[in-house]
Amino acid sequence: MNANPSPFPTNHGISPGTLHSSTTPTRRIAAAYRNSSTETFFISNYMKPQSPSDNQNSEQTLDKVAAEIHGSLVFPKSSHVAPIPEFDSLVDLILRLKAIVYPGFRSNESSSEKVLVGLRSQIDETHQLISRQIAIAIARHFEACEDMTLQDCGGSSSGKLTMPENIIEFSQRISTDYILKMPQIRASLLTDVKAAYVGDPACKNYDEVILCYPGLSAITVHRLAHELYKLNVPFIPRMMAEWVHGETGVDIHPGATIGNHFFIDHGTGVVIGETCVIGEHVKIYQGVTLGALSFPQDEMGQLVRDSKRHPTIEDNVVIYANATVLGGETVVGRDSVVGSSVWLTESVAPSTTVTMEKPKLKIRNQVDS
């Protein structure tokens, strides 16, 4: 038995030297590489035995880097360091929540009775999972805020922060309140599914929206995260938003308030800020930014974090690709249209169309020039 088994495939009788032959055709080189042991090839061709001095230098490098990073850390006075929310568990949580609001799309159950049983089981398991993650997030949040105060980084300065007396009971109560909101969240999402179908002539049915549309995936996770945000759950709503941002290219802060029948077409590059308020039946295209115009500061030079920084978009507004709407006092009136590539920093009245002046095209025939 091989005392040091390799996880790589065997050599299949191909010598690494074959790959260095100047007469070996390119196709044979590729085939030889695919069929040879990757481990054997790289060790024999690129890796040399390290000398004792090399090992010593490596140890010194490791010690130096580790010491510098360790020296920059600030440890809490308490000997108990709260864990951080578990990212893998958070992704599992998102998928479970999507299975609750879209039952039947993550299982093969078709009968009404089996769907009900599976849904109940899913809700129960999700409740337990989110309760644990909320408890972890709250503990970490209080510890992190206390550290910010101790380091004079603009954190809370209202005296020593204290956690709930029983953080487990507190997190279970929040998770129960959250789970009770699932029917309401699903009802809103069904209006978003319909809006996507009505707004895109390429769409054939509602199932296609749920299975294929990145805009719906983004607004689904947003609505799930937004309710946690409203319950003042730290970390988790932002982590959910960043996960779906990476999946879809749509960046929606969980604090944004978005009405029903919302449709993001294509999606990539959309940015919606924390204090943005969006009405019902709003449609936006890829590359749209609903952002802040500036960041006000208080008398101490710290950012004012609770002000309205992002625009208000009223009902029945369409905003086309790459348009930018900025500012907390900016309001786009109902039934308005904001054209592609518009840069808007002032309010517009209802039933207004805002467009850029059409640029003049210059067309030159390459053959005649």
Of the candidates 175, 267, 271, 265, the one whose C-alpha atom is nearest the C-alpha of residue 224 is 175
Prediction pTM value: 0.77
Q: 160 pLDDT exceeds 60?
A: no
Written as one letter, the residue type at 237 is P
The rounded Cα 33 to chain-centroid distance in angstroms is 38
Same domain (yes/no): 240, 108 = yes
- Residue 100 sits in a domain whose CATH number is 1.10.3130.10
Most confident of the following: 2-16, 45-59, 343-357:
343-357
Q: 44 pLDDT exceeds 90?
A: no
Mean pLDDT across the stretch 231-247?
Answer: 95
Same domain (yes/no): 226, 273 = no
Of the candidates 329, 325, 326, the one whose C-alpha atom is nearest the C-alpha of residue 354 is 325
Looking at the structure of the chain, the number of domains it has is 3
Same domain (yes/no): 86, 230 = yes
- Interhelix angle 236-248/87-101, rounded to 10 degrees, is 80
Confidence of residue 249 (pLDDT cuts 50, 70, 90): very high
**Could you tell me if residue 162 is inside a domain?**
yes
Written as one letter, the residue type at 236 is I
Q: 21 pLDDT exceeds 70?
A: no
Confidence of residue 159 (pLDDT cuts 50, 70, 90): very low
Could you tell me the CA-to-CA distances from 289 to 9, 219, 253, 282, 329 in Å, in that order? Answer: 50, 15, 12, 14, 15
pLDDT at 250: 98
Q: In sequence order, which residues have a C-beta less than 8 Å from that of residue 217 and are 6 or more positions away?
A: 244, 247, 248
Q: In sequence order, which residues have a C-beta less than 8 Å from that of residue 343 and are 6 or more positions away?
A: 323, 324, 326
Write out the chain in H/E/C secondary structure.
CCCCCCCCCCCCCCCHHHHHCCCCCHHHHHHHHHHCCHHHHHHHHHCCCCCHHHHHHHHHHHHHHHHHHHHCCCCCCCCCCCCCCCHHHHHHHHHHHHHHHCCCCCCCCCCHHHHHHHHHHHHHHHHHHHHHHHHHHHHHHHHHHHHHHHCCCCCCCCCCCCCCCCHHHHHHHHHHHHHCCHHHHHHHHHHHHHHHHHHCCCCCCHHHHHHHCHHHHHHHHHHHHHHHHHCCCCCHHHHHHHHHHHHHCCEECCCCEECCCCEEECCCCCEECCCCEECCCCEEECCCEEECCCCCECCCCCECCCCCCCCEECCCCEECCCCEEECCCCEECCCCEECCCCEECCCECCCCEECCCCCCCCCCCCCCC
State phi, psi for 291 to the nearest 5 degrees.
-125, -170
- Final residue of a domain: which of 231, 250, 269? 250
Same domain (yes/no): 191, 289 = no
Same domain (yes/no): 309, 324 = yes
Domain that holds residue 268: 256-357
Which residues partner with 252 through β-bridges?
272
Q: How far apart are CA 96 and CA 175, in angstroms?
A: 14
Structure tokens at 338: 């904001």
Q: How far apart are CA 141 and CA 84, in angstroms?
A: 9
Task: State pLDDT tens for residues 129-146.
Answer: 999 999 999 888 877 776
Which residues partner with 325 through β-bridges?
290, 344
Scan for tokens 């086309």, then name that residue: 320
Long-range contacts, 242-247 (Cβ 8 Å, 24+): 243/90, 243/91, 243/94, 244/94, 244/217, 244/218, 244/220, 245/218, 247/214, 247/217
Q: How far apart are CA 247 and CA 214, in angstroms?
A: 8
Mean pLDDT across the stretch 318-344?
Answer: 97
Q: 34 pLDDT exceeds 80?
A: no
Confidence of residue 258 (pLDDT cuts 50, 70, 90): very high
Same domain (yes/no): 142, 110 = yes
Same domain (yes/no): 136, 202 = yes
Mean pLDDT across the stretch 54-80?
Answer: 75
Same domain (yes/no): 331, 306 = yes
Same domain (yes/no): 104, 216 = yes
Between 35 and 280, where is the model more confident? 280
Task: State pLDDT tens for residues 78-107.
Answer: 555 678 888 899 999 999 999 999 998 877
Between 68 and 338, where is the model more confident? 338
pLDDT at 122: 93
Structure tokens at 41: 């090839």
- Final residue of a domain: which of 209, 228, 250? 250
Mean pLDDT across the stretch 147-151?
Answer: 54
